[in-house]
Amino acid sequence: MGRTPTINSTATCCFDQLNPPLIVAGEKAKTSTLDFIIRHTSGFVCAAVSDAVRAQIALPSMSGTLTDGAADDYTVAIDAVDGVGTGISAKDRAITLRRIADLSSTPATFPRPGHVLPMRARSGGILTRRRPAEAVIDLLRAAGLHEVGALSALVSVSDPHAMADAAESRSFAHAHHLTRMRRSNSGRTQVADTKCPAVVKE
């Protein structure tokens, strides 16, 4: 029987890839979760968004972005307009992520530029482009969550001047009781490690 991923506010996940990110669903983002992500990653927090979300809040592509190639499709960076300070703190970025995932949000909800950088996921998901944004959105769809997910690349523990590799992501996931995800040859996002409690259900 297939497994349906269940994501909560404390269950960030590592993708088993070259530069594995920590991720959390935008609607589940809490200050403590963003604090954990920022401490253990580059701190460059992106938000994978679907085309529907991008259209809802009118996110134009970042100037110079190559939208027809294999590169990531970044939009202008944003903050939430209400309830935040400078926009850079873990609390502020958690609020912004939850607002991006809020179906009632409009373009006026977000001043630009800001401190959360959305990344457009192509509508066909990982079967059309094998990039982090597509993998995150596919995972959120499988979990029945809104199509907004925060991600930031994990920093190496052994060399804090470099990014973590797949082997380190496995060690990090075990040390912090996270579920590690991988992408199968068919393009689907799969659970690679189900030993962590309260993250995956049958």
Helix ranges (DSSP H) in 101-156: 132-143
Cα(16)–Cα(164) distance, integer angstroms: 10
Report the amino acid identity of residue 24: V
Q: Is the peptide bond before 113 cis (omega within 30 degrees of 0)?
A: yes
Question: For 140-191, what is each residue's pLDDT tens digit?
Answer: 888 889 999 999 999 999 999 999 988 898 888 888 888 877 655 444 544 4
Q: Tokens 């927090």 belong to which residue?
A: 45
**Interatomic CA distance for residues 63 and 115, integer angstroms:** 16
Query: Which pLDDT tens digit goes with each residue over 21-60?
Result: 999 999 999 999 999 999 999 999 999 999 999 999 999 9
CA distance 173 to 9: 16
Instruction: Give the 3-state secondary structure of residue 191.
Output: strand
Per this entry, what is the length of the chain? Answer: 202
Do 121 and 189 touch, CB atoms closer than 8 A?
A: no
pTM: 0.85
